[in-house]
Amino acid sequence: MEQVILVDEHDRESGLMEKMEAHEKALLHRAFSVFIFNERGEMLLQQRALSKYHSGGLWTNACCSHPRPYETTTTAAKRRLKEEMGFVTDIHKVFDFTYQASFDNGLTEYEFDHVFVGMYNGVIHANENEVAAYEYKSMQEIEKELLSKNDHYTAWFHIAFPKVYAWWKECYEPGVENRKSVVNKH
């Protein structure tokens, strides 16, 4: 039985609950989203497997999930990046936000979401149980698609992407010779 960490609006823990029950009751719980960039400044996107309990087939960031009880959010983010995309890289938290989204199957994501960024240019070994497809895209292309193909992306990606894009414009400028140091500074 997979559990999530229930939190208040300041991310203070208030208990544990079975994951599906928390989604059925729309209770606020801790989550994370990982955004990965390559050396060209493109973002890694994954298309969620069709079998996912919600948002199957939609495009989103490199990975996202929930930390386990007694697991730090950073450790959980690195674990899920390896489990979903098949690689490990350094990641750094850049911000957090809270969002709520209801789905057609009666479930609701109500999450205090910790957002991490990292760099990766190597081979990807995506887990087919988690990921239907993946690709790198420019930030400008993603921004255009969110307007023209907005139903192709997850609810949380619509909220997180503008915040990540603002961070990217400030800290991850195209043309910076050593992009990895720019990502690691923030």
Phi then psi dihedrals of residue 162, to 5 deg: -60, -35
For helices 139-148 and 155-171, what crossing angle results, to 10°?
A: 150
Would residue 141 show up in a list of annotated catalytic residues for this protein?
no
How far out from the chain centre does Cα 152 lie? 16
Would residue 130 show up in a list of annotated catalytic residues for this protein?
no
Length of the chain: 186
**Cα-based distances in Å from 5 to 15, 41, 66:** 6, 33, 8
63, 64, 109, 130: which one is catalytic? 64
Q: How many CB atoms lie within 10 A of CB 31?
A: 26
63, 84, 109, 111: which one is catalytic? 111
Residue 68's closest CA among 78, 58, 56, 76? 76
Residues 100, 112 contacting (CB under 8 angstroms):
no
Catalytic residues: 64, 111
